[in-house]
Amino acid sequence: MCLAFPAKVLSVDGAVAKVSRKGVERAISLMLLPNAKVGDFVLVHAGFAMEIVDEKQADETDALLAEMNGAPRTVFSL
Partner 1 sequence: MEEKKLLLEIHSLSEKLTKPVRFMEVCGTHTVSIFRHGIRQLLPKNVELVSGPGCPVCVTDDVYMDKAIAYAKRPDTIIATFGDMLKVPGSESSLEQAKTEGADIRIIYSPLDSLDIARDNPDKKVIFLAVGFETTSPTAAALTIAAKEAGISNLYLLSAQKLVPPALKTLIADKTVKVDGFILPGHVAVVTGLEPFRFLKEEHQIPAVVSGFEADEILTAITFLLNMVVNNEAKLINAYQAVVKDEGNPVARSVTEKVYEKADAAWRGMGIIPLSGLCMRDEFSSFDIEKVLPLTVKPSPKTTGCRCGDVLKGVITPFNCPLFDKTCNPENPIGPCMVSVEGVCAAYYKYGRASFSFE
- Of the candidate residues 18, 64, 66, 74, the single one contacting partner 1 (CB under 8 A): 64
Other beta carbons less than 10 A from residue 25's beta carbon: 12
Q: Show the beta-strand stretches assigned E in 1-78.
A: 5-13, 16-21, 24-29, 41-45, 48-53
Interaction pattern, residues 17-56, with partner 1; x per rule: CB under 8 A:
-----------xx-xxxx--------x-xxxx-xx-xx-x
Distance CA 8, CA 65 (A): 16
Nearer to partner 1, 40 or 61 (CB): 61
User: Nearest distance from residue 53's CB to partner 1, in Å?
Assistant: 5
